[in-house]
Amino acid sequence: MYYSVDNRISAAEKYISELGWWLVPVRGFGEKAKQPLFKGWPDYCPDSKSVASILEIHLSAGIGVNLGPSGLVDLEADSDEGEAVLDDLCRGLEFPWYQSRRSKHRLFKADTSIASLGITAQKIEFRAGRHQSIIPPTVIGETEYKWQISPFECPPPPLQMGRLVVQLPGC
């Protein structure tokens, strides 16, 4: 399966220039497919030319967003039960989201009190802080990440922590 590096480069330029996101070039295949290409990524903010150069050298590489410096939290679940909880929690809210192989990724503005939160029983993760999430148009293996609602159409809204505490099972 072949995917043009040009669409990843143009997407990266747009994420950086229009949204101010910090990007992380990631491996696109193999056992470590979603891992950053270099150490020190949490503290490095590459400009669009640097990202383009990396993607041109590593043709199968994808892009992730450095959640902490980008001011984002990614809500996702790796189980049907967890997806149902997050769908219920996010009902009535408008937010950007995309589909990966296993789950829906919902992006919100991060509350500064969140670094990362996992709810093991439902396999739910609130990823933020010094974490990254793969974003479209990355391809990992045979899975192409695609926006269902893009952050350019619908900017990430603030995550309402009070709503989460009340609605999450066991909280």
Q: Which tens digits make up the pLDDT trace of 76-132? A: 998 888 899 899 889 899 999 999 887 899 999 987 655 555 455 557 888 888 999
Q: How many domains does the chain have?
A: 1
Range of the domain at 129: 5-167
94 half-sphere exposure, CB direction, 13 A CA radius: 7
For residue 119, the model assigns a pLDDT of 55
156: three-class secondary structure by DSSP: coil
For residue 166, the model assigns a pLDDT of 39
DSSP state of 165: H
Average pLDDT, the chain: 86
74: three-class secondary structure by DSSP: strand
For residue 171, the model assigns a pLDDT of 41
Contact call for residues 82 and 90 (beta carbons, < 8 A): no
CA distance 16 to 90: 27
Mean pLDDT of the 123-149 span: 90
Q: Which tens digits make up the pLDDT trace of 6-53? A: 999 999 999 999 999 999 999 988 778 899 999 999 999 999 999 999
Give me 91's structure tokens.
């009902």
- Claim: this prediction has a pTM higher than 0.85: yes
For residue 53, the model assigns a pLDDT of 96
- Tell whether the model's pLDDT for residue 165 goes beyond 50: no
Give me 52's structure tokens.
């383009």
For residue 33, the model assigns a pLDDT of 86
Q: Which tens digits make up the pLDDT trace of 48-58? A: 999 999 999 99
